[in-house]
A and B are shown apart, each in its own frame.
Chain A
């Protein structure tokens, strides 16, 4: 993992936004206390229990894409406020906050890069940007990233992390489900591989559209994946949900995920899968 260690200095800077302050971090799963640098070396997984911390596109690019090969695309697209949406805050201030919190411009980052030498079109959601919610910008960036795959005949890799569609764009967000599925229909008809990686959490309209439509659906261990959120289900059935419900392992057992891959093995496994399409 030397490619990773070399750029560690940058990572510390980038991940401060998503990780707790200070030199130490406590695992939310087993309470193990770790040096942040150790956590980074372990690709943000707990060295004791293997809990996968939530990370964003900057970290995933470093983990999965060959060093120096990534070129971000569509970075000029920005969310506007088409409905002048105001709840307890107005939507523009939520966008500004999301930007501050995540360091990225919207809930998805797209680009092109190489995975062990193979060019791919790569898209990765940012949960720290308004809960990774899908609005017009997410839909359009997915459309363009998938279109790049279609035109260049290179695999499309998409990492999901999202609470679902973005309420502040109402029906426009909902329509992104159909829009992203439409371009995936084109990929499917042209036999361009689409690999979907579902990370913690992937729920709502994102799961019910592109996240579930991979030629291969990969999940990270323990990731919450579902349509309805656990709280909504508990309110509906008025019962506590069983342990492990809607976790990656549960989805694998029920037949909706092809495989679960530990983040530390993700690049190699992704590369193996990509090679299958070429050889």
Chain B
């Protein structure tokens, strides 16, 4: 557990783990293996209790854990033969969105996702996963390539939002996202969308229109981040916990609201606690979903995709 970022709500677990460490040292002199075993059992119970009752804000924190597997981690561990393709062929390459050819369980796919860094240096390079217009246009280019050669598309969502910069506006951030929404509604190849971390607003949905929309258990997806929502509606940054509750942004919430199709279960405590287990579950679910959508007739698939979004929303009349 050394040097690993932990959260306040995990403190009871960390304290017990420390206690066991101390007992282990002591245990070299006298036999207390039974006591240690009891404590270990207690830790497991405590973990279940804490992690199964996370608040929405706590899940947001887990979704942002620096060790949480990111797009390239999934690409490198769940896919093979990845060939990264760079650039939008118009302006430049945006490191905040990665994508390219990959093989998933014997079949060629196009995989595209937001890319965050793991530390300050890589985060600066990746612009913290906040794309510029060229990122969305690179994605569009790769989607069209997939369409041309009839390969399914998999997109991985993990962004704190599209970058709110001066040049981003100059180059048409809004147009780039809008164009992708239209394009993804026209494509005839299957599209599977998986929210792996943060799904913040237009920057997320800009690569998020698909036939199946899945969320990892501790990811979030919302019209706005809890912090920005707090600052706009409460006029203060201090209401992020309440904002997270009000926004109902967890995978469980979105399943209830009929926005997503399925929740991908994470290892206890979050994907970063056991990445290997996460990759196994991820691959299993993706294989099943790909098989399901690949069976649907191509013309019908696009129609069904649009109908899926037509059904979204709650109103009265």
Q: Mark B280-313, 1 if CB is under 8 A from A, else 0.
A: 0000000000000000000000000110011011
20 CB contacts below 8 A, A to B, read A77-B315, A77-B317, A78-B316, A80-B314, A83-B248, A139-B312, A167-B232, A167-B247, A172-B313, A174-B202, A174-B205, A178-B185, A183-B310, A207-B174, A212-B175, A228-B162, A237-B165, A239-B166, A245-B169, A256-B174
A interface residues (Cβ-Cβ under 8 A, vs B): 74, 76-80, 82-83, 85-88, 135-137, 139-140, 143, 165-167, 169-179, 181-186, 188-189, 204-205, 207-213, 225-229, 232-233, 236-237, 239, 241, 245-246, 254-256
Q: Is B25 an interface residue (CB 8 A)?
A: no
Query: Which of B3-11, B111-119, B176-184 lies at the binding interface?
Result: B176-184
Q: Are B164 and A80 interface neighbours, CB within 8 A?
A: no
Report the separation of the CA atoms of residues A78 and B317 in the bound assembly, to the nearest whole angstrom.
6
Chain A residue at minimal CB-CB distance from B180: A181
Report the separation of the CA atoms of residues A176 and B312 in the bound assembly, to the nearest whole angstrom.
7
- Given A175-B259, A233-B166, A233-B169, A227 and B174 contact (CB-CB distance below 8 Å): yes
Which chain A residues lie closer than 8 Å to B162 at the CB level? Answer: 208, 227-228
Q: Are A208 and B174 interface neighbours, CB within 8 A?
A: yes
Which chain A residues lie closer than 8 Å to B182 at the CB level? Answer: 181, 184-185, 188, 213
Ranked 6 nearest A-B pairs via Cβ: A136-B313, A228-B164, A181-B181, A207-B174, A87-B233, A82-B314
Chain A residue at minimal CB-CB distance from B187: A185
Q: Which of B164, B178, B233, B316 neighbours the largest number of chain A CB atoms within 10 Å of its CB?
A: B178
Chain B residue at minimal CB-CB distance from A174: B223
Q: Is B206 an interface residue (CB 8 A)?
A: yes
Which chain A residues lie closer than 8 Å to B315 at the CB level? Answer: 77-80, 136-137, 140
Which chain A residues lie closer than 8 Å to B186 at the CB level? Answer: 185, 188-189
Contact of B309 among A171, A179, A225, A241 (CB under 8 A): A179
* B208–chain A nearest beta-carbon distance, Å: 7
* A34–chain B nearest beta-carbon distance, Å: 33
- Given A165-B201, A208-B178, A208-B206, A139 and B313 contact (CB-CB distance below 8 Å): yes
* A264–chain B nearest beta-carbon distance, Å: 27
- Given A137-B315, A171-B257, A212 and B174 contact (CB-CB distance below 8 Å): yes
Which chain B residues lie closer than 8 Å to A178 at the CB level? Answer: 181, 184-185, 205, 208-209, 309, 312
Contact of A167 among B168, B172, B179, B224 (CB under 8 A): B224
Q: Is B222 an interface residue (CB 8 A)?
A: yes
Q: Are A182 and B170 interface neighbours, CB within 8 A?
A: no
Report the separation of the CA atoms of residues A54 and B245 in the bound assembly, to the nearest whole angstrom.
34
Q: Is B249 an interface residue (CB 8 A)?
A: yes
Q: Are B310 and A143 interface neighbours, CB within 8 A?
A: yes
Q: Are A76 and B317 interface neighbours, CB within 8 A?
A: yes
* B198–chain A nearest beta-carbon distance, Å: 13
Q: Are B246 and A83 interface neighbours, CB within 8 A?
A: yes
Report the separation of the CA atoms of residues A232 and B155 in the bound assembly, to the nearest whole angstrom.
27
Chain B residue at minimal CB-CB distance from A138: B313
